[in-house]
């Protein structure tokens, strides 16, 4: 851990706490020393916002310039909304904020964050140390040697509890034990001009594998594909995707193209051309990470989208932050008024699920149901999910607890026992 706070007592406090959980910790009170201490192997940053000299916001900007991928916890005694704004800013700068601590904080709050961090880091068998260097030539080789794999995360209809589709999420199987997550390599692929090859690979693989999941007894599940900003400017995209769907015999209405708000405003006329033609060919369009971009509301009605995905940062905080709760409720309302489906991503707890159901959100996606899984584990998950449903059970507390404590495999076993 690396802590920066102009109050040395906070540093000492966090350092002792980290040590009690087996995490080594460097502490500093100045930005200069902080930047010296920051290493690729640093796995968690605690960053104070208000400091003399370089303040926390300036430091976030510097971290973004250094392409820092280390998870960050923002701390401050300042008004909650300023803390929330700082978190949004950090995300807009492509930094990974995993928590915020409002001072004065209680020991239990920090412990919860640290334990959660340690749990996810240790439990994810494919945990990749953030920031580990990736050479461009390794990435090029990864594509050429077919080392990119696609995992699928189920999406559940919140009214019927049925699995209705999957989002395809790419990973790089760097070694048999190491899986690198997309946030760590997609920006490099974009810079190298290789992102179209990635798009093509995921689309082809996703459309082929979709039919295997359909065999697990699902009626026409949908497949959501992430499309990055530069691919949205490629006027050929609607045609290539349409030929692929035709080749595989898949109705384009089952394919959902996910675009992000930032991707929509690169070159609006080209993007609208691509989106309109995608829709004319029958594909659906989803606005991913909704709420994290700029001035979206006024443009929303001009975009021919069929779905909105509420960004997981709102879902995560909606029970503690009233502004996030209002944002979620209003997004559901506006989405429905415009005739769109609304998906909540990052659903992790039964409380979030019940809240989303209560406000009429259509679809849920998140660790509460399942992490993104490779095709074979996904098929097992599907059959377990269906047999649990067959016993009149929804994914209830037993499975939830098993998952929280011991990960997806324990949850699977819990489902097996229930069966
Ligand atoms: P996204 O499209 O917003 O995908 C959702 C991300 O949230 C995924 O991260 C997923 O694993 C994670 N997630 C899902 N449920 C939960 C939850 O309950 N809790 C938490 N904490 N996280 C959850 P992932 O797979 O690391 O992907 C990150 C981003 O990389 C994606 O964000 C998407 O923008 C991009 N991406 C992934 N695959 C592709 C791809 O094939 N092409 C392109 N262009 N971008 C991709
Ligand atoms: Mg997405
Ligand atoms: Mg998203």
For ligand 1, atom 25, the nearest C-alpha belongs to 169
Below-70 pLDDT ranges, the chain = 119-133, 216, 293-298, 389-419
For ligand 1, atom 27, the nearest C-alpha belongs to 182
Q: How far is the CA of 397 from the centre of ligand 2 (A)?
A: 27
Closest ligand to Cα 224: 2
Pairwise CA distance, residues 86 & 89, whole Å: 5
For ligand 1, atom 35, the nearest C-alpha belongs to 182
Q: Give the pLDDT of residue 130.
A: 42
For ligand 1, atom 19, the nearest C-alpha belongs to 346
Ligand 1 site residues (CB inside 6 A) read 153, 168-170, 181-183, 186, 198, 202, 226-228, 258, 288-289, 312, 345-348, 365-367, 372
Beta carbons within 10 angstroms of residue 269's beta carbon: 6
For ligand 1, atom 42, the nearest C-alpha belongs to 226
Strand partners, 173: 179
Q: Say if strands 341-345 and 307-310 run parallel, antiparallel, or are unpaired.
A: parallel
Residue 168 tokens, joined: 């395809």
Work out whether the CA dihedral 372, 343, 383, 396 comes out positive or negative: positive
For the chain, report the end-to-end CA distance as a whole number of angstroms.
42
Q: How far is the CA of 357 from the centre of ligand 1 (A)?
A: 22
**CB 158, CB 362: distance < 8 Å:** yes
Closest ligand to Cα 291: 3
Q: How far is the CA of 309 from the centre of ligand 3 (A)?
A: 7
Atom of ligand 1 lying closest to residue 228 CA: 44
Q: Give the pLDDT of residue 190.
A: 87
Q: Which of 336, 372, 367, 373 is nearest to 349 (CA)?
A: 367
Domains of the chain (ranges plus CATH)? Answer: 2-123 (3.40.50.2300), 131-415 (3.20.20.450)
For ligand 1, atom 5, the nearest C-alpha belongs to 345
Atom of ligand 1 lying closest to residue 150 CA: 41
Q: Which DSSP letter does residue 6 get?
A: S
Q: How far is the CA of 169 from the centre of ligand 1 (A)?
A: 6
Q: Which of 217, 219, 211, 225 is nearest to 385 (CA)?
A: 217
**Residues written for the chain:** 419
Integer CA distances (angstroms), 128 to 85, 173, 329, 331, in order: 28, 11, 35, 34
Atom of ligand 1 lying closest to residue 372 CA: 11
Atom of ligand 1 lying closest to residue 195 CA: 44
Atom of ligand 1 lying closest to residue 258 CA: 2
Question: Tokens 């067959």 correspond to what residue?
Answer: 390
**CB 172, CB 185: distance < 8 Å:** yes
Contacts 24+ apart (CB under 8 A), 40-43: 40/129, 40/131, 40/132, 40/133, 41/129, 41/131, 41/132, 42/1, 42/2, 42/70, 42/131, 43/1, 43/70, 43/71, 43/121, 43/129, 43/130
**CB 171, CB 82: distance < 8 Å:** no
Mean predicted lDDT score pLDDT of the chain: 85
Pairwise CA distance, residues 98 & 46, whole Å: 10
Question: Whole-model pTM?
Answer: 0.71
Pairwise CA distance, residues 262 & 395, whole Å: 35
Q: How far is the CA of 286 from the centre of ligand 1 (A)?
A: 14
Pairwise CA distance, residues 126 & 105, whole Å: 32
């Amino acid at each position: 851990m690396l802590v920066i706070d102009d109050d040395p007592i906070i540093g000492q406090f966090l350092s002792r706490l980290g040590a009690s959980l087996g995490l080594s910790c460097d502490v500093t009170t100045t930005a200069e020393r902080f930047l010296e201490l920051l290493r690729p192997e640093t796995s968690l940053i605690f960053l104070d916002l208000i400091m003399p000299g370089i303040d926390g916001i300036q430091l976030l900007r510097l971290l973004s310039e250094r392409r820092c991928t280390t998870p960050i916890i923002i701390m401050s005694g300042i008004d909650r909304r300023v803390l929330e704004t700082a978190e949004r800013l950090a995300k807009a700068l492509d930094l990974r904020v995993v928590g915020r601590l409002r001072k004065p904080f209680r020991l239990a709050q920090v412990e919860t964050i640290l334990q959660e961090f340690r749990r996810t880091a240790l439990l994810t068998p494919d945990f990749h140390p953030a920031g580990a260097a990736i050479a461009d030539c390794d990435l090029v080789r990864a594509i050429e040697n077919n080392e990119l794999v696609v995992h699928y995360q189920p999406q559940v209809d919140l009214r019927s509890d049925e699995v209705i589709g999957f989002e395809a999420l790419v990973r790089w199987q760097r070694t048999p034990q190491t899986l690198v997550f997309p946030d760590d390599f997609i920006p490099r692929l974009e810079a190298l001009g290789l992102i179209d090859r990635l798009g093509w690979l995921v689309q082809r693989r996703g459309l082929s594998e979709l039919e295997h999941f359909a065999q697990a007894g699902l009626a026409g599940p949908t497949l959501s594909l992430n499309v990055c900003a530069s691919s949205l400017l490629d006027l050929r995209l609607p045609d290539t995707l349409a030929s692929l769907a035709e080749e595989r015999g898949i109705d384009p209405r089952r394919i959902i193209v996910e675009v992000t708000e930032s991707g929509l405003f690169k070159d609006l006329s080209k993007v609208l051309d691509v989106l309109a033609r995608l829709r004319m060919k029958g594909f659906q369009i989803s606005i991913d990470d909704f709420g994290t971009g700029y001035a979206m509301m006024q443009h929303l009605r001009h975009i021919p989208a069929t779905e909105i995905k509420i960004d997981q940062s709102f879902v995560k905080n909606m029970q503690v932050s009233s502004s996030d709760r209002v944002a979620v409720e209003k997004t559901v309302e506006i989405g429905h008024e415009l005739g769109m489906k609304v998906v909540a991503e990052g659903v992790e707890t039964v409380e979030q699920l019940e809240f989303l159901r209560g406000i009429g959100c259509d679809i849920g996606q998140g660790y509460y149901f399942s992490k993104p899984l490779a095709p074979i584990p996904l098929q097992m998950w599907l059959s377990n999910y269906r047999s649990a449903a067959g016993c009149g059970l929804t994914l209830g507390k037993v499975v939830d607890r098993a998952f929280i404590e011991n990960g997806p495999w324990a949850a699977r076993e819990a489902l097996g026992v229930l069966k």
